Structure 1
């Protein structure tokens, strides 16, 4: 007795899968995250982070983040902003990848895609997913197939798919624009904190020399000067560590998205371009 066929994947639903749509906010296009939503969540996380640090008065980590000037607060906020954006982008990528698991053309090997069967393919896509135009790979196919009746060559469809693919690649690169700005700003904030700390240390040291006359008094008062030096070095350290970790994450996310777009291109070649046939009467019409 033959075993039953494996169950088909559940129908795709962008409304149930996309985290931004689930909470009822306007989602970013494609693989982009809603910048302002990420900012609001990052602000909430920053508040929680500092609220958790506040009771630890005698711990060095509290001093690093709460006693080193205002730049630390902004650095942590931008760090959380990047993290939230990358988490949202990761969710969107997982949702988009699910579309590649489905076969939009009939499994019949004799099926050919032409202007006569284009409507059947469109119905298949709408049966697979709600709002299929929100899925990158399905949006490519819908645009190309919708124009199939007006085209006379297979290469024309391929050109349309390539053109849409280039637009998707450009949109994917643009989606990292805000993150790139934050990665630039975080180390700069660290360097600003360094300048403020050095200025504070130098100012205290200058005042110390003016107010103290003997060496022993100067040595005993140097502890006040070291506070400024702590601000100078620790603000830069925190900023560089955050920037490094976020940059590594961005690199991994960018690579994953580029691989996905390559997979979309291959999917379209196998599912669409290789199955297109121009019927004889269509060739005569275009002569």
Structure 2
């Protein structure tokens, strides 16, 4: 756990740098040159008194700086969620393993709990940090010290609740990004409308090209930002669903493989 936080921080930093480099390279090398050439053709057609041919292409819709920032943030959020999803998948696969071998019909007494935890201690260090081994080790330790099955059940529930809260808090950056992307889109809207109002005198004189371009910036930035936000929120909810299933399945695993085998001697 102590080593994971710095490694995750470095991963997020490098993921952000990678997103900036890739998206900016795509904009500089492909998107903006393509959009500028199409806009130049349309401007020439308008200057010649012709009706511009062709619809607005994707390059024109996403060419502005606000859309570039939104794509960078989207890739960053997807990279963060990809790391979380990979770990969740690895932890979910552990639920298919028999971490503690308790034959059917066998009861575990408090003095036997320490012996059962040896198989957990033999796991690789990375796997020992997963939820299931930690919850099992905590349950066996609590049973050894308290000799109380309800106390063990409470310990498992508490461990899973803490893990659920931790998983939820680690997604705070993704939630911030999902909020920031529409905000950046609205910034583009304000900028575009401001530019359009600044060129209103040209529209009065009969030249509406500048106004239409500025309004295009306004509406395109909001459109792109909202679409990307929908994509991020869908991925976020799928990740949260898998994490919630992991916590619930962990509780069910411990109930089935450990709690029903516990026994406290009478007297």
Q: Specify the alignment match of 1:43 in structure 2.
A: 17
CA RMSD of aligned residues (A): 2.4
Contact conserved, 1:126 with 1:132, CA < 8 A, in 2? no
Say which of 241, 244, 249 aligns to 2:230.
244
> The residue matched to 1:109 in structure 2 has which SS?
coil
Alignment of 1:29-68 (within 5 A): 34-35=8-9, 37-56=11-30, 57-59=33-35, 60-66=57-63, 68=64
Counterpart among 193, 214, 218 of residue 228 in structure 1: 214
Moved more, 95-104 or 123-132: 123-132
Partner of 1:119: 114
1:192-244: CA deviations, max 9, x gaps?
110110000110123x26xxxxx7xx33x321222211110110011001000
In the alignment, structure 1 residue 278 sits paired with structure 2 residue 264: yes
Cα displacement (A) at 1:55: 3.2
CA contact (8 A) 1:190 1:240 kept: yes
Pick the aligned partner of 2:190 from 195, 206, 225. 195
Q: How does 1:126-275 map to 2 (within 5 A)?
A: 126-206=121-201, 208=202, 218-219=205-206, 221-275=207-261
Aligned to 1:88: 83
Give the whole-Å Cα distance in 1 for the aligned partners of 2:127 and 2:23: 39
**1:101-139 per-position Cα deviation (integer Å, ceiling 9, x unaligned):** 111232522432222221221111233443443110110
> How many Å separate the matches in 1 of 2:19 and 2:127?
34
| C-alpha contact (below 8 Å) 2:110/2:147 kept by paired residues | no
Query: In 2, Cα distance between the equivalents of 1:225 and 1:36?
Result: 44
Deviates more, 1:108-117 or 1:195-204: 108-117
Q: Which 5+ residue runs of structure 2 have no aligned equivalent?
A: 36-56
TM-score, scaled relative to structure 2:
0.83
Gaps of 5+ in 1: 1-20, 210-214
After TM superposition, the runs of 4+ consecutive aligned structure 1 residues lying more than 6 A away are none
- Please give the per-residue CA displacement for 1:24-58, whole angstroms capped at 9, x wherever unaligned: x95249xxx93552243133123212313333323
**Secondary structure of 2:264's aligned partner:** coil
Q: Separation in 1 of the partners of 2:75 and 2:196? A: 30
Seen in structure 2, the aligned counterparts of structure 1 residues 242 and 104 have a Cα distance that, compared at 3 Å, is same
